[in-house]
Amino acid sequence: MRILGLDYGTKTVGVAVSDELLITAQGVEIIRRKSPSKLRQTLARIEELVEEYGADRIVLGYPKNMNNTEGVRCEETKEFQEMLERRTGKEVILWDERLTTVAADKAMMESGIRRENRKEFVDEIAAIFILQGYLDYLSNQSK
């Protein structure tokens, strides 16, 4: 069993996948699109990745505001969640993604990745943080 993790943005979707034991998350890729409203190719690529990795479910970053309120981005994410569930037939779990981009940026800075190169990787690393948070949650639930 594997789980796919997604960091959904207006122009990109960072993708991560768990190992079969559901212990660690690894980055897979960043799906880029030319227009925020063009989702058909993005959904098709995610469907391919679900099949390729044999993912049983998907964890989708949920961009709540820092004060725990839900804004426009949350509504867009819920719409994307519904599209993913229809397209893949898999359960799509919304997972609080607050500060994952900040954590990803900090991790890259500590790794010595130059500022101008960080934007290239931040979405994939944020997807890793989202999925790893969910995997840690699952691990703690089974104790």
Number of domains comprising the chain = 1
- This prediction's pTM: 0.87
Q: What is the pLDDT of residues 93-137, one digit of tens each?
A: 999 887 666 666 677 677 776 776 666 677 788 899 899 999 989
User: Nearest Cα to 58, choosing from 34, 32, 82, 23?
Assistant: 82
Looking at residue 132, its pLDDT comes to 92
Looking at residue 118, its pLDDT comes to 62
136 or 3: which carries more pLDDT confidence? 3
Q: Tell me which residue range forms the domain holding 52.
A: 2-141
Q: What is the pLDDT of residues 28-40, one digit of tens each?
A: 999 998 887 789 9
Report the alpha-carbon distance of residue 92 to residue 83 in Å, rounded: 10
Q: What is the pLDDT of residues 87-98, one digit of tens each?
A: 999 999 999 887
Residue 41, domain CATH: 3.30.420.140
